[in-house]
Amino acid sequence: MKVAIFSFAHMHAYSYAAILSRRKDIELAFVADENEERGSSAAEKYGARFVPDYQAVLNQPDVEAVVICSENARHAEMVVAAAEAGKHVLCEKPIATSMEDGRRMVAACNEASVKFQIAFPIRFSTPVQRVKHQVDQGKLGQLMAINGTNRGQNPGGWFVDPALSGGGAVLDHTVHVIDIMRWYTGSEVREVYAEVGTRFSARSVDDCGLLTMSFENGVIAAHDPSWSRPKTFPTWGDVTLRLIGTAGALTVDALAQNLVRYDDEAGTVKHIMWGDDPDEQMLNSFIESIYNDAAPLVTGEDGLKATEVALAAYESARTGRPVKLPLS
């Protein structure tokens, strides 16, 4: 199967390219990037052909799927164009910077009958999936409350440019955890209250926040999506969830499979991951959904629902009031 990557603006593109290049049944055929230096360098590294305009790839009939890793504000145009060209799509999160764009993307993929998956690798984390199994088996009884975190470092660059990112930490780091909460509860968020601010830098976007939510099935939840980690922190961030049920409580750390390395020469302490790679499991699942003509584990609708909660959080912070979902 021939696959193309549209843009290396997002750092995850390098992980995805390496994974695709390792599969013997996949050819990473094209890298399309308007940044010629970045794109041509990536294409050379991963053995692909570089083109500056992604539209040129859409005219290639033997390219079956595209992986989109552009700035958030460009997701919609690329996904819609890929769908109209009959290409299956894996798109980096968040799905879009507005509900209007997200709905348009989902509709285009549905109309073209192409697979549309959002890049939520945490769903594919082995410990996160084990907890899902325990929840489904009733080991915790009835879920009552969930507390989540996705605290990371400020990525800088286009992530702090609202015109390209659509928001700061709340948009960037809410969608992963909300997706897991929806998956665990089997329910939708019905109301969001949020405090959002800029406390750790002088940037023009939010770098911290706290969301409190209620789900339609009665579960209450809280989430910290802050870019609160300093540059010297041993890892970029975390993804944790604490689940409280009527029969027990459980904590899961999606990224705990690591060693701690103390490097005297570099003067650093780093977490070195040794466990399962959620990115690889996610890419493999996407490819298998195409081979088997099956629905992806994470759909465009899932991406839309997660983004809706983040956008509701911004609205709540702006008004100082809880916001009911769905958004109009």
Q: Is residue 265's pLDDT more than 90?
A: yes
What pLDDT is stored for residue 287 in this prediction?
Answer: 98
The average pLDDT across 271-282 equals 94
| Tally of CA atoms within 13 A in the half-sphere of 64 that contains its CB | 13
Q: Is residue 169's pLDDT more than 80?
A: yes
The average pLDDT across 255-264 equals 93
Report residue 242 as tokens.
């604490």
Report residue 311 as tokens.
């956008």
Report yes or no: 32 and 57 within 8 Å, Cβ to Cβ.
yes
Report domain extents, the chain.
2-114, 123-279+307-324
What pLDDT is stored for residue 201 in this prediction?
Answer: 86
Q: Is residue 72's pLDDT more than 90?
A: yes
Task: Find residue 241's DSSP bridge partners.
Answer: 148, 252
Please name which of 14, 103, 22 lies closest in space to residue 67, comparing C-alpha atoms.
14
d(CA 91, CA 6): 10
The average pLDDT across 282-286 equals 98
Q: Is residue 202's pLDDT more than 80?
A: no
Query: How much is the pTM?
Result: 0.96
User: Which CATH number is 123-279+307-324's, of 3.40.190.10, 3.40.50.720, 3.30.360.10, 3.40.50.11890?
Assistant: 3.30.360.10
CATH number of 2-114: 3.40.50.720
Q: Is residue 161's pLDDT more than 80?
A: yes
The average pLDDT across 1-12 equals 98
d(CA 67, CA 2): 11
The whole-chain average pLDDT of the chain stands at 97
pLDDT bucket at 81, cuts 50 / 70 / 90: very high
pLDDT in tens, 293-307: 999 999 999 999 999
What pLDDT is stored for residue 204 in this prediction?
Answer: 83
Report yes or no: 182 and 188 within 8 Å, Cβ to Cβ.
yes
Report yes or no: 185 and 144 within 8 Å, Cβ to Cβ.
no
What pLDDT is stored for residue 107 in this prediction?
Answer: 98
Please name which of 59, 112, 100 lies closest in space to residue 76, comparing C-alpha atoms.
100
Report yes or no: 267 and 278 within 8 Å, Cβ to Cβ.
no
The average pLDDT across 97-104 equals 98
Please report, as a single letter, which amino acid is at residue 108: A
Q: For 273, phi and psi rounded to 5 degrees?
A: -70, 135
pLDDT above 90 covers a percentage of the chain that reads 95
What pLDDT is stored for residue 172 in this prediction?
Answer: 97
Q: What residues contact residue 77 under an 8 Å CB cut-off, 6+ apart?
A: none
Q: Would you say the CATH fold of 123-279+307-324 matches that of 2-114?
A: no
Q: Is residue 35's pLDDT more than 80?
A: yes
The average pLDDT across 208-222 equals 98
User: Alpha helix locations (H) across the chain?
Assistant: 12-22, 36-46, 55-58, 75-84, 99-112, 126-136, 162-165, 169-185, 278-291, 300-319
Q: Is residue 103's pLDDT more than 80?
A: yes
pLDDT bucket at 328, cuts 50 / 70 / 90: confident
What pLDDT is stored for residue 137 in this prediction?
Answer: 97
Residue 94: helix, strand or coil by DSSP? Answer: coil
d(CA 72, CA 75): 5
| Tally of CA atoms within 13 A in the half-sphere of 59 that contains its CB | 5
Cis peptide leading into residue 326 (ω within 30°): yes
Report residue 260 as tokens.
């701690």
Q: Is residue 167's pLDDT more than 80?
A: yes
What pLDDT is stored for residue 321 in this prediction?
Answer: 98
pLDDT bucket at 148, cuts 50 / 70 / 90: very high
Q: Is residue 203's pLDDT more than 80?
A: no
